[in-house]
Amino acid sequence: MQNAQRDTLRQFVVENFLFGQVDNLSDQDSFLEKGIIDSTGILELISFLERHYRIKIADEDLIEQNFDSIDKLMAFLSRKLRVSKD
């Protein structure tokens, strides 16, 4: 299940922010440091997560540690999905 989620997140980032150019993007690469996603891109990413995974992202979730790499997105998404099941 997590591999499918990771693939979905990676595909969204590659298609929407790298325009199909993978360019050796690792799961640990910082989106902000590499200039992959800016503040507007973060809003697109949040909208995608809310629609695709049917979660609500609260204002207090809007921190760099949750959205700055594939790995950070996976950790955040795992927490949100676990909480939504409880």
pLDDT single digits (tens) 69-86: 999 999 999 999 988 665
The superfamily in CATH containing domain 2-85 is ACP-like (1.10.1200.10)
CB count within 10 Å of CB 69 equals: 24
pLDDT digits (tens, 9 = 90+) for 27-85: 999 999 999 999 899 999 999 999 999 999 999 999 999 999 999 999 999 999 988 66
Tell the residue number behind the tokens 């921190």, with chain if given: 63
Q: What is the pLDDT of residue 10?
A: 93
Q: What is the pLDDT of residue 68?
A: 94
Q: What is the pLDDT of residue 82?
A: 87
pTM of the model: 0.87
Tell me the C-alpha distance between 62 and 7, whole Å. Answer: 22
Joined together, the tokens standing for residue 50 give 């809310």
In which element (H, E) is residue 14 found? Answer: helix 2-17
DSSP state of 9: H
- Any idea where the domains of the chain sit in the sequence? 2-85
Joined together, the tokens standing for residue 67 give 């959205």
